A and B are shown apart, each in its own frame.
Chain A
Amino acid sequence: MADTISTNEVPLAVQTRAPAMRRRSRLEKTLSSPSFWRGLSALVVFAIVWEIGARSKLWFGIEVPFFGKLPAPTEVLGAAVHVVDKPGYWASWYQSIRRVLTGFILAQILGIPFGLALAVNKYFRDFFFAPFEILRPIPPLAWVPAALIFWPTNEMSIAFVTFLGAFFTIVINVLGDARSIDVRYLRAAQSMGASQWDLFSKVILPGTMPSIFTGAAIGMGITWNVVLAAEMISGGGSGSSGGLGFFIWNSYMGGSLEQIIVGMISIGIAGFLSSAAIRKLGEYVMPWRRLF
C-alpha cells in the first residue's frame, strides 16, 4: 500500500526524467504480461511440432501427406542466417517496401479526398459512384496484364496495381463513415455558427479519421498481397531489384526450399511491422481513440 502511494506522489524533480523511466517500465510490463508469454509459447510450440514433423516425416506415428518435403525450422533458420549476410536479400526488402509505400501513399493521397468528395457532394456522387462501383470488384491482380501493356515500365505497372489494391478499400471506408457521421455533431456545430467549410474540416474530417485508419490498415495488407504477386508475375526486373516476391520465385526456381520459407516469413514480418506502424500513427493522430 505504501508503495502505491509513493509512486503516485512522485515529486516534480523526478518526473522530469519520466521518458527514460517509462520506456523501461514498458519493457518490464511486456515481459511481465501473461499475454506476451502465451503468445511466445505458442510460437515455440508451433516451431517444435514443425521440427518434429519435418524430421520424422511422421506426426505422432501418423504420416501426413504432402508435408514431407517441408524443411525443418532449424534448416530455415540456417538459411536465414546465410541469407541475411547477402546484400541482395536486403535489396529485395528495400524494393518491396518502396513499391508498397509508393502505391499505398498514392492511394491515400487520391483515395481520401475522393471518398470525402463522394460523401459530401451529391453531384460528385451521382457522376462518379457508378464507375467506381463497377471498377471496384475487379481484383487488382486482374489488372496486371493490362497494366504491363499499358504502362511503359514494369515498375510503373507494379506501382499502379499496388495503388489499386489500397485505393478502393480506402475510398469505400471513408465514404461509408463520412456519410454516417452523427447528425447531432453537425447540428451542434451549425448552431455555433459553422460554415460549410467548418463543418467539413472540423466535424466530418476528424469524425472520419478512425475509418481512414481502418481503411489504411486493411489497404496496407492488400498492398503487400498485391506487390508480392505482381513481383512474381512481372519478374520484377532482374537480380537484386526483384523485391521479396521475386526473391521467393527465384528461390523456387533455384530449388531452395529453405529460402522460400525465409522469404515468406520475411513478408510476414514486413506486414506485421507495417500494420504496427499504422496503428502507432493512428494512436498518435487520434488520442481520443487510445482510450477505448
Chain B
Amino acid sequence: MQDVLTGHEIPAGDGARDTASGQSRIELRHVSKGFGEAWEREQIIQDLSFDITPGDLTALLGPSGCGKSTIVNMVAGYERPDSGEILLNGKRVTGPGKDRMVVFQETALMPWQTAYQNIVFGPKLRGDLRGAELDKEAKRLLDRVGLGDFKDKYPIQLSGGMQRRAELARALINKPRLLIMDEPFRGLDAMSRPLMQEFFLRLFEESRRTNLFVTSEIEEAIFLADRLVVLSNRPAQVRTVIDIKLPRPRDFKMMSSPEAFAYKREALEILHEEALKSFGGDQQAKYEDASLRQAS
C-alpha cells in the first residue's frame, strides 16, 4: 500500500506489534455532568450512555456547543462525571492515563520541543521505552506520518497538517488502547483537510485501533466512522446510533454512493431538528410577535 501524502511504501502494520489496539471497549453509563454553582448550574450532559466498540471508529457528531469536548475530557480522565461511570474494559476511569491518548483541537504540540522531542516525550517520561529502541520507534512513526525529514523542526515551522500528523505520532508512540480525536482537523484549510482525512483513514484501517472521533462535520463523520453516535443539543443525550456499513478500505468516491447519501440524510434530519430546537423556539416567538404588531 502507498501512503497518500508521501507516496512512500507504508512499512509493516502498526497493529502487528501493538497488542493493545483493536481490543478495547469503552462504556459510558448514565453519565451526567454540569458546571457552575447550584443556583445557576448548567447541565451539559444528562444521563448519557453509549459504547465505543473495540476496533471500531466511533464518531461523535453533534451541534457545536453540545458538550462534545466535555465528553472527551471525561473519557480522557481530565474531568469526572457528576454521576454515572465510564468503563475501559470493565475498569472504571478515574484519571488520565497513557491507555487513552487525545489528539486535541488545533495543535497541542509543545512549542519548545522539536517534532522528535515531542514524540519521545511520553516514553522518556515513563522510561518504558529508551535508548536505541525508543529512537528507532520514534523514527519509524515519524516516517509513517511523513515527517522523517522534519524531525528537528519546531511546531511553528510545520504546516497545520504536519502539526496534526506529528501529534498523531506523539499519541501513537504511547500505544493507547483508545485514541481520542477531538475535532482534530478543524482549522485546516480546504486543501489539506481531505488529505488528512484520507491519511488518517489509512492509518486507522491498518491498525484498527479503537477510536473515538469527535466532529461537527457530517461528511467527515460518515467518511471515517463505523458507528455514528448523534447527540442532541445541550444537555447532551444520544439521539441515535447509525452503523455506517460502507466497505473498507474506503475512498472519497464512496461518499457519492446512495448509501452514503442515505446516512447523510438520516444524520442531517436529526441535526436539523436539534438546531431548530436550540434557536427555533426563540425565533418563532419573535416572528409571531412581529406579525401581531403588524396586524394591529
Chain A residues near B (Cβ < 8 Å): 182, 184-185, 187-194, 198, 202-203, 206-207, 209, 286-288, 291-292
B111 neighbours in A (Cβ, 8 Å)? 288
Asked if residues B154 and A288 are in contact (CB atoms below 8 Å), the reply is yes
Known: A288-B156, A291-B154, A291-B157. A192 touches B112 (CB 8 A): no
- Say how far A73's CB is from chain B's closest CB, in angstroms: 44
Prevailing SS type, chain A contact patch:
helix
Residue with the greatest number of chain B CB neighbours at <10 A, chosen from A188, A189, A209, A291: A188
Docked pose: A182 CA to B107 CA in angstroms: 11
Asked if residues A192 and B108 are in contact (CB atoms below 8 Å), the reply is no
- B98, CB-defined interface residue at 8 Å: yes
Docked pose: A188 CA to B171 CA in angstroms: 9
Asked if residues B96 and A288 are in contact (CB atoms below 8 Å), the reply is no
- Say how far A190's CB is from chain B's closest CB, in angstroms: 4
Asked if residues B98 and A188 are in contact (CB atoms below 8 Å), the reply is no
Asked if residues A185 and B110 are in contact (CB atoms below 8 Å), the reply is yes
Question: Among A188, A202, A203, which residue has its beta carbon within 8 angstroms of that of B104?
Answer: A188
Question: Among A182, A206, A287, which residue has its beta carbon within 8 angstroms of that of B108?
Answer: A182
Asked if residues A192 and B154 are in contact (CB atoms below 8 Å), the reply is no
Question: Among B110, B156, B157, which residue has its beta carbon within 8 angstroms of that of A203?
Answer: B110
Docked pose: A191 CA to B113 CA in angstroms: 17
Chain B residues near A (Cβ < 8 Å): 76-78, 95-98, 100-102, 104, 108, 110-113, 121-122, 125-126, 154-157, 170, 174
Asked if residues A287 and B154 are in contact (CB atoms below 8 Å), the reply is yes
Docked pose: A101 CA to B64 CA in angstroms: 54
A sample of 15 inter-chain contacts (CB < 8 A) reads A184-B108, A185-B110, A187-B104, A188-B104, A189-B125, A190-B96, A191-B101, A198-B125, A202-B121, A202-B125, A203-B110, A288-B113, A288-B154, A288-B156, A291-B157
Docked pose: A182 CA to B104 CA in angstroms: 12
A190 neighbours in B (Cβ, 8 Å)? 78, 95-96
Known: A185-B108, A203-B110, A288-B111. A191 touches B154 (CB 8 A): no
Least CB separation from A285: chain B residue: B112
Known: A193-B126, A194-B125, A198-B125. A188 touches B108 (CB 8 A): yes
B96 neighbours in A (Cβ, 8 Å)? 187, 190-191
Asked if residues B110 and A192 are in contact (CB atoms below 8 Å), the reply is no
In the A-B complex, the 5 residue pairs with the closest CB atoms: A192-B122, A184-B108, A288-B154, A206-B112, A190-B96
Asked if residues A191 and B112 are in contact (CB atoms below 8 Å), the reply is no
Question: Among B104, B110, B122, B170, which residue has its beta carbon within 8 angstroms of that of A193?
Answer: B122
Docked pose: A193 CA to B101 CA in angstroms: 11
Least CB separation from A287: chain B residue: B154
Asked if residues A191 and B108 are in contact (CB atoms below 8 Å), the reply is no
Docked pose: A286 CA to B98 CA in angstroms: 29
B100 neighbours in A (Cβ, 8 Å)? 191
Asked if residues B104 and A184 are in contact (CB atoms below 8 Å), the reply is yes
Known: A288-B156, A291-B156. A191 touches B104 (CB 8 A): no
Least CB separation from B182: chain A residue: A184
Docked pose: A184 CA to B155 CA in angstroms: 15
Docked pose: A137 CA to B98 CA in angstroms: 46
B154 neighbours in A (Cβ, 8 Å)? 287-288, 291
Asked if residues B102 and A209 are in contact (CB atoms below 8 Å), the reply is no
A182 neighbours in B (Cβ, 8 Å)? 108
Docked pose: A188 CA to B168 CA in angstroms: 12
Asked if residues B76 and A191 are in contact (CB atoms below 8 Å), the reply is yes
A288 neighbours in B (Cβ, 8 Å)? 111-113, 154-156
A291 neighbours in B (Cβ, 8 Å)? 154, 156-157
Least CB separation from A183: chain B residue: B78
- Say how far A34's CB is from chain B's closest CB, in angstroms: 27
